[in-house]
Structure 1
Amino acid sequence: MPRSLWLLVIGTIINVTASSFLWPLNTIYIHDQLGKSLTVAGFVLMLNAGASVVGNLAGGVLFDKIGGYKSILTGIIITTLALAGLIFNHEWPAYIVFLTIIGFGTGIVFPATYAMAGTVWPEGGRKAFNAVYVAQNFGVALGSALGGIVASYSFELIFIANGLLYAVFYLVVFFGFRNIAGETINPAAVIQSSVPEKSRSKLFALSFIASGYLLCWVAYVQWQSTIAAHTQNLHISLSQYSLLWTINGALIVLAQPLVSWFVKFAAKTLKHQMVIGIVIFIISFIAAAQASEFTGFLVAMVILTFGEMLVWPAVPTIANSLAPKGREGFYQGFINSNATGGRMIGPLLGGMLADYFNMTVLFGVLIGLLIAGMVFTFLCDKHLKKGKEDAKSIAVGS
């Protein structure tokens, strides 16, 4: 990998480590510490995710206009200020306000990071996006492990640690990313496609991929919301729940050679890679529905992890392949906003199903949504098959 991408990887690790101190524990904090229902907790997380959707779109547009360096700095400053407020006041309802602002700030950072990865190493293909994805999950493993330990002593320390790590992230970006700012696209280089129909067909294909991506996230986010609370009801400790995310992140880092081998021989295209990953998601939720002890949830998490290793890196790679020159930021922002949309809808939908029905109904609905996501993925390249070059954007080899 080029040096520029290594800097992005390091920055992503710090960013996600900071975030992972808080996000896996949000539902537990709102439900257990603030005494609110799962539906209310889901609504709060929906506000956070809704702000992130706006941030994702803003981050993509900002990348195309002012470049990655300034875009990421803007997101960090907004997030750090909100985290500072959360340190001093994390009671109800201030928690809602600051968490919503944090959602907007972090939302700006991620699409700009992915778009920058694609521009600094265009010849890397999916390897560039997979590097950022692995860095994110290394941060998840580290942050959730430390967060669970810190939370077992005091939730107060979680907010302080989160704020301090974001301050470190700001320094890394300020001094390190400035040197790669010139490697992002020049706004003046933005060009429009000479064939509008081709651009529309690419955006149409991206919309199908994004819809499937959204539904996958609606299901996946339950592990951070309703399933998190469900594990507490089953008397699984907070440290054990945090350990699930540590294993998730560690497995993503350590199992890359195995996944690369599987993709090479069993998933010849990005579309196939996504479909296989969604099938694995379905299997993991069937396993989780049967779990009543930590071991059962551990097995379900391991299966889930292999599914996400196939689905999550494929989506930004497709977006980058489909994006016209100078629109990389917008396409990444669009994809990220759909992922965040799933994270927005998921906690509220899951909370309502768990509160008004039961977990069995919830798991049944989630499996149905994943099947629908698989159908969207199957249909994604229908309008691209007329042009071999366009179809190759999705049917790209490993």
Structure 2
Amino acid sequence: MRSNSSLTSKVYIKMSGQIKAAVLTGSTEKNQLTEVKDIPFPKIHDDQILIKAVSYAANPTDWKHAVSDWGNKGNISGSDVSGVVEQVGSKVTGYSKGDVVSTFLHGNYYQNRGAFSEYVIADPDTTIKYNIEKFRNEPLSVGNHKFGPIDSYEGAASVTLGLVTVALSFAHNLHISTDRNANASKYILIWSGSTATGFLAIQVAKLVYGLNVITTASKKNHDVLKSIGADHVLDYKDKDVVEQIKKIGGENITYALDTFSTQESLQSVYDATENTKDVVIDNLLFLNENSIKTNPSRNVKFTQTLVYLVMEDQKLGNMFIPTNEELKKDYREFWHKALPPHIKDIKHNNLKVLEPGFKSVNPALELLREDKVTGEKIVFRASSD
């Protein structure tokens, strides 16, 4: 009896007191982007859920917020986390206490919510629920792990931002039909398939849409990308890579996603789709037809995916970018209906597992800032303390 009372008391103190989180310091110095602080225990709204964090993933957006005016001192860092549902808002359906989930949120942006926290406020619209029977409880060992099915908290933490990005790109910006028969003869060009987003985009394009997938990558990644669904993988370093793509796709490259998103890569994507009468080209930065050399006689639509718009209007520095209901509708339709049946078949990318605890946040962000990690997602477990 005393043991149960003691446990209840500890839970109550945790749920009503302070928790630890990695927050932005306001510094841009190496290994000083974040620090561990005590923050109030988060309170959810009726349309939110609360997650007890088990594993985290680091993303380039985390360090970019930290060194720009997108993120302010005291904001909770981190955008990707997996864990167990602790609380469910009264207006939320489809989730229960104890569910294994991963979620993406606009980290580094708020002082009361971010992924690198012991408990995390999550929105159902950016959360994935997993089959707990197929999940392993033991942590992955520190070091490198190959791509594979999402059966660990580390793997789950690594995919959510990427899947939300792909969902918004495919369902709204590219407006791809989910009619697999209609897509049977169509191609999508995914430039840089070994990136975190590209790796997932290949799988979604094949599993959900049934598209023919052309992608680019260094030769060492060709076999891996073919194993997850790419029909054609070309070396982006080849001088004639654009001509190779045109020969394969002909006039049927209806969609393109540039996950590398530089002027050079966008120019290559544009040139490779030259034979298609009507094509939509998406990228993950703010590039458009004015960023490259174009032919005014071609009918090409350029779009830009800013993943945070699935949540709300965005103010990034001096830029104000509004969202809209059509965007949210297209995204939610895909996220809640088209994607869930395929989660069991999606594989996470290679993982680089760091030491558990928030002590790994700064090293993770520095690895990304210095561009020392390619073809891997950096993940780490919550502290066991």
TM bucket normalised to smaller: under 0.3
Which protein has the bigger strand share?
Answer: 2
Q: Which structure shows the higher helix fraction? A: 1
TM-score by length of 1: 0.23
TM-score under structure 2 length normalisation: 0.24
**Bigger relative contact order, structure 1 or 2, given CA contacts below 8 A and separation 6+?**
1
Q: Which has the larger radius of gyration?
A: 2
